[in-house]
Amino acid sequence: MIVPVDQSNIARAAAVHSASWQDSHRAFCTPAFVALHTPERQQEYLMAKIRGGSRVYMLITDRPAAVVSVTGSLIEDLYVLPGLRNRGCGTALLRFAAARYPGTPSLWILENNTGAARLYRRLGFEETGNRHEVAHGLDEIEFILKDKGINAMDHAEEAKRLFMKGYNCSQAVFCAYCDLTGLDIDTAARLSSSFGGGIGRLREVCGTVSGALLALGLLRGYSDPADPEAKPAHYRLVREFARRFSGKNGTIVCRELLKDVPVTPGGIPEPRTPEFYARRPCLRLVGEAAEILDGLLAETAETQERPTP
């Protein structure tokens, strides 16, 4: 799970930042300088960044594992606990940060940090040629993401993959957006599990629609009940999603989408056989729901910041 860092958890984020910073700088900084970067000092540093308008996020597995800060489109302070490196934590947090804000993501790394350079190149970043000296004759070099689209998750394909894996229609769509929502797939699957089969096989609103709207609420929703503009603004997005989905399929209601498909009544799901996938439109609908949602998210990226769960 990826969570925003605030007063309630900044001490844990600072502990991750301190341990990782010390480990990564020990080879070329003096022991005295490394020792200065205590959790207390890094907590002050992170709090100053937050006060200055930066957003700081922390990835949590079974414990706090990694941190990153974002200022505009500049990504900084990507640190992973030494014992948890090479497990995808840094990649997940970097993808999250790069996808979360409009503009071209950029970052700076020390020129001797070859491991980080390899990671960033693999994820679609490239050097700009800009560099500046930081200390001891050591330069930082700038990377930018060449094409924000190349490395972005293909949500439609991911949703279809998850559906074929056995997740229900709502779970498949909602879980495909874990790269943006910051939820781990287990939490996302639990949150969306009730909506499969048109809400527990009641054949009401299509689960792909419910899953997409759950993601839309996390990424473009509102939380202030006193804001008179927020609710109608969000409902316009919801209704636009429904309009586009209905425009492709004639309805958002499960039983109407399956009107030509023989289905068993009741709450017991049918086995996922090749025939199940062949006779139903569900796999196509899972992909279409994600494509429609991606379109709405792209259209609103510049005007509304994505709230953090």
Q: Where are the domains of the chain?
A: 2-145, 155-300
Query: In the numeric block, which tokens belong to residue 211?
Result: 């899953």
If one counts every other C-beta atom within 10 angstroms of the C-beta of residue 116, the result is: 18
Give the H/E segment covering residue 57: strand 55-60
Is the pLDDT at 305 greater than 80, yes or no? Answer: no
User: What's the pLDDT tens digit per position in 69-117?
Assistant: 999 889 999 999 988 877 778 888 888 888 776 678 899 988 888 878 8
User: How many CB atoms are located within 10 Å of the residue 142 CB?
Assistant: 17
CB of 204 closer than 8 Å to CB of 251? no
The average pLDDT across 192-205 equals: 96
Closest of 159, 161, 109, 102 to residue 139, by C-alpha: 109
Q: What is the pTM of this model?
A: 0.60
- Any idea how long the chain is? 309
Q: How far apart (Å, rounded) are the C-alpha atoms in residues 123 and 31?
A: 33
Q: Tell me: pLDDT of 149 over 90.
A: no
* Segment 170-184, tens digit of pLDDT: 999 999 988 788 788
- Domain over 2-145 is classified CATH 3.40.630.30: yes
Tokens 């594992």 map to which residue?
Answer: 65
